[in-house]
Amino acid sequence: MTDPGSGDARTSEDDGPREFVKYTFFHLRPEWRRLPEADRHAGKARFAEVLEHPPDGAVVRSYALTGLKADTEMMVWSIAPELGPIQELHARLLGTPLGGYLDTPYSYLGLGRRSEYLGDHAHGGEGSDGRRRPSDLPYLVVYPFVKKREWYGLPFEERRRIMGEHFRIGHKFPRVQIHTGYSFGLDDMEFILAFETESPAEFSDLVHELRPTEASRFTALETPIFTCVLASARRMLDLADGLP
């Protein structure tokens, strides 16, 4: 696990291949659940088929939020080396019968790259290059992140020193895996953070320990926060449809 919003927007030819990460949150309108059961069954099957067979080059995972967040029940995490497969995936989803009953209350786009403060070692889901691959742990906590502008005015070595405390705390929670998306110039936020974990309680403990650190003083925004449960496409859809 590394610091939420640990890096800055600088890039390097040594970063290696980088991929786009996209977190799309869907709300299924109540009108859908009033349709005949046969229509709902067919609509969910078509939507699930699209998720189970994404465009070439795209990696896709689905998550359920039913009962966990007021205005969203589903989340699709997509990863691709270009924006084209991500757009194609979402166009296919919206083109299904169920797509006509969906709202998108939240949507976040980022570009994966390793934190420059990590040095040469791989760490917590952020490998030796910019590729992002889910570990398929049961839970994923997702939220946007913005640093105060004062952070970027500090010398790089000072920022690296401050980040050292975050890394030391993060190493106490090796089962928490981070995926950092850099959103500078691409979306409204600076970062989109996602943490895979086997235990939401363990992740809460980690966040609690990070609160008093020096780096946390430079946090401007880290909400909304989404706790997502890994689920097959069909399971995610059934929960949103009111089928436990």
Q: What is the number of helices (H) and of strands (E) in the chain?
A: 6, 9
pLDDT, tens digit, 9 for 90 and up, residues 181-196: 999 999 999 999 999 9
Q: 105 or 112, which is more confident?
A: 105
Strands 102-112 and 191-197, how do they pair?
A: unpaired
Average pLDDT of the chain, as a whole number: 89
108 is catalytic: no
Confidence bin at 6 (pLDDT 50/70/90): very low
Q: In this structure, which amino acid lies at residue 24?
A: T
Q: Which pLDDT belongs to residue 132?
A: 65
Using 50, 70 and 90 to split pLDDT, how confident is the model at 123? very low
Span 1-23, average pLDDT: 58
Which of these is catalytic: 106, 117, 143, 182?
A: 143
Q: For 29-42, give the secondary structure using H, E and C.
A: CHHHHHCCHHHHHH
CATH fit for domain 14-240, picks 3.30.70.1030, 3.30.1490.100, 3.40.50.1220, 3.40.50.2000: 3.30.70.1030
How confident is the model over 17-23, as a mean pLDDT?
A: 91
pLDDT in tens, 213-230: 999 999 999 999 999 999
Averaged pLDDT for residues 111-132: 61
Res 113: pLDDT: 80
Model confidence, pTM: 0.89
Q: How far apart are the first and last CA of the chain?
A: 33
